[in-house]
Amino acid sequence: MKVVDLRKGSWKYDERLKYLARRGEVLEEEYESKVKEIIHLVRERGDEALIDLTREFDGLELTPETLEIPFEALERAYEELEDDVREALEIAEERIRSFHERQIERSFFTEEKGIVLGQKVVPLERVGIYVPGGKASYPSTVLMNAVPASVAGVEEIIMVSPKPGKYTLAAAYVAGVSRVFQVGGAQAVAGIALGTDTIPKVDKIVGPGNIYVALAKKVLYGTVDIDMIAGPSEVLVIADSTADTTWISADLLSQAEHDELAASILVTDSDRVAKEVQSRVVELLDGLERSDIARKSIERFGTIFLVENMNHACEVANLLAPEHLEVITEDPFALLPSLRNAGALFLGKYTTEPLGDYILGPNHTLPTGGTARFFSPLGVYDFVKKSSVLYVSKEGFDKVSDLAMTLARAEGLQAHELAVKVRKVK
């Protein structure tokens, strides 16, 4: 891991810090043209393009009839689960559902003399969830995306995933997914955004993925709604001298093994912690089954920042706005008021990020690439839409009509004023 000492000079302008802060932009420049080409192919050729691209990228020979996985396969996958895996999936589903039920928004109405105003909250009719596959199996991602949609009352949940395995399909059954299509990448996003003869067009696409998936969602935003631009995974750990360096190193590698483009960052005020983590990460790498992936991630984005103090550490974290932010310090809650930009905050040495991935309950679909400055975790609120409701009686009209005409004249909109004025004669 690259060590950068921010204790000297103007740390905000350090080249490594700037590089990480604009990581998403750097990746877009490399991949966007290819993503647009894939979307164009799906738009023009539909199922035929999906089949050709799935053969090229995933090595699967499909037909329009085999793009969709029969629902019976989901039920069979669930029935064939090992007992411990079934129990873990069901408990995780219960915890995720319980947490997200607290996010439910209700319609409301207010009334004054002659005027009724309100907001109607309704679930989306059909949503698409993207579940990564190929390099690993992600049943937890199925739960995190489908359960909030189910809680919101979405009628039809369409899942796309490249080569979904037994655990992914079983999770889809547990979470209440309606239909599953075995396509992935930018082409899958295009398929559910645009619709094909086989795959239905959805109202919104949610879920994490690699850079191709993230950019496809960005390009197609407007054709379809999206949750966020969720790209490769990342973790930033703030640690002081009390932290266990083996624990920190394992946490950093837990994100690096996701993807060659994942980012693992340590921010510490301890020279000892920095040096020990730098060597310990290398030692632990060789023991990983996905060591090649993790090593490429560490070589490209792995960074240790040495800072003056914990206030300085919080400034660095807020600038980078990480997806996952771990605080492994003597008093982690003391830093909470100073931390503004993070997808999720994991406080304390036992709150390792994988617990959030799998079992705790809050959503693990989180903003990446610095977008935690303005995006939030996936939630029930992502699966509803709102309409304003307005009613005005004659009494209410008399109360506000002159005010509306005054503002219409101020804006120079004569027909607006006329639409109000003609009702004053009745």
The answer to whether 323 is a known catalytic residue is yes
As a residue count, the chain comes to 426
In angstroms, the CA 53 to CA 289 distance is: 28
163 three-class SS: coil
Beta 2-5 vs 303-306: how paired, if at all?
parallel
299 three-class SS: helix
Residues 424/401, Cβ–Cβ less than 8 Å: yes
Residues 142/168, Cβ–Cβ less than 8 Å: yes
127 three-class SS: strand
Q: Which of 257, 323, 326, 353 is catalytic?
A: 323
Q: Which of 324, 326, 364, 417 is catalytic?
A: 324
Judged by phi (left if over 0) then psi (alpha if -120 to 50, else beta), residue 233 lies in: beta
| Tokens 């996958």 belong to residue | 77
DSSP H or E stretch at residue 85: helix 83-101
Q: Which residues contact 110 (CB under 8 A, 6 or more apart)?
A: 116, 117, 118
Neighbouring CB atoms inside 10 A of 7's CB total 14
| Tokens 């947490």 belong to residue | 99
| 288: amino acid identity, one letter | L
Half-sphere exposure in the Cβ direction for 151 (13 Å, CA): 25
The answer to whether 416 is a known catalytic residue is no
123 three-class SS: strand
Residues 337-368 as b/e (b if ≥16 CB within 10 A, e otherwise) read: eebebbbbbbbebebbbbebbbebbbbbbbbb
DSSP H or E stretch at residue 31: helix 23-45
Task: List active site positions.
Answer: 323-324
